[in-house]
């Protein structure tokens, strides 16, 4: 929290939308670079199978769902961004829908990549376990970014953000707590469980 105390004035002095847009893309780009550099030469065939093979239903669901959430919340923010604190549309369901969309999108890519690395003869830059670790690092960074962003919002909007925070879940829909640490833990644990479920549902050849 001492570090956060130094970060709040810094973020207060910067144009918020541009800063958060830039920060939001850094973990995603880093993850995608690591992911695609780690996959074997059979990547194009395996990714094509993702959308033609019915066995990979869960991967498809999370990739498409994540993209839809991210695109919709980004467009909504762009349209409504100049009117103060946004608490409607996708921001009525969670306080950070864009981060949620990215997490779900990359979760689907991660589970599919894990399958490629463990079920093909290609050799990747990362091991399957390191691929999972890369996703967890991205997840942790987005939870941290969301927490730092809320420090800025709480200073900028004070009471209105406090009311919004009390009635709207942090990152996971329908899961609401009033404790910041618990918010962060839940936002890590539930995607981790979801990742495990999707990995277990993948076909074994």
| Residue-wise pLDDT tens digits, 1-40 | 333 333 333 333 333 444 555 566 777 777 777 766 655 5
Check: CB of residue 35 under 8 Å from CB of residue 112: no
pTM for the whole thing?
0.79
Residue 123 DSSP code: -
Task: Tell me the C-alpha distance between 140 and 131, whole Å.
Answer: 15
| pLDDT band with cut points at 50, 70 and 90 for residue 106 | very high
Mean of pLDDT values over 111-129 = 76
Alpha carbon 85 to chain centroid distance? 21
Contact 62, 106 (CB under 8 A): no
Give tens-digit pLDDT for 38-79.
555 545 555 555 555 555 677 888 988 999 999 999 899 888
Domain count, the chain: 1
Position 21 scores a pLDDT of: 57
> Tell me, what's the pLDDT at 167?
92
Among 18, 2, 35, 20, which Cα is nearest to 138's? 35
User: Do residues 87 and 80 make contact, with C-beta atoms less than 8 angstroms apart?
Assistant: no
Residue 160 domain boundaries: 2-201
């Amino acid at each position: 929290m001492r570090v956060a105390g130094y970060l709040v004035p810094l973020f207060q002095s910067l144009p918020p939308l541009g800063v958060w847009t830039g920060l939001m893309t850094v973990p995603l780009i880093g993850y995608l670079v690591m992911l695609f550099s780690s996959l074997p030469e059979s990547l194009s065939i395996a990714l094509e199978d993702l959308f033609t093979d019915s066995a990979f239903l869960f991967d498809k669901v999370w990739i498409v769902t994540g993209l839809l959430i991210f695109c919709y919340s980004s467009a909504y923010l762009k349209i409504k961004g100049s009117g103060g604190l946004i608490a409607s549309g996708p921001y009525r369901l969670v306080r950070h829908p864009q981060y949620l969309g990215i997490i779900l999108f990359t979760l689907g890519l991660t589970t599919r990549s894990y399958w490629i690395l463990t079920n093909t003869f290609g050799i990747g830059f990362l091991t399957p376990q390191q691929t999972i670790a890369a996703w967890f690092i991205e997840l942790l960074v987005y939870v941290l970014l969301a927490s730092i962003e809320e420090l800025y919002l709480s200073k900028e909007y004070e009471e209105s953000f406090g009311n919004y925070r009390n009635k709207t879940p942090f990152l996971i829909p329908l899961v609401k707590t009033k404790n910041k640490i618990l918010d962060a833990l839940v936002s890590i644990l539930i995607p981790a469980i979801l990742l495990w479920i999707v990995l277990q549902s993948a076909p074994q050849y």
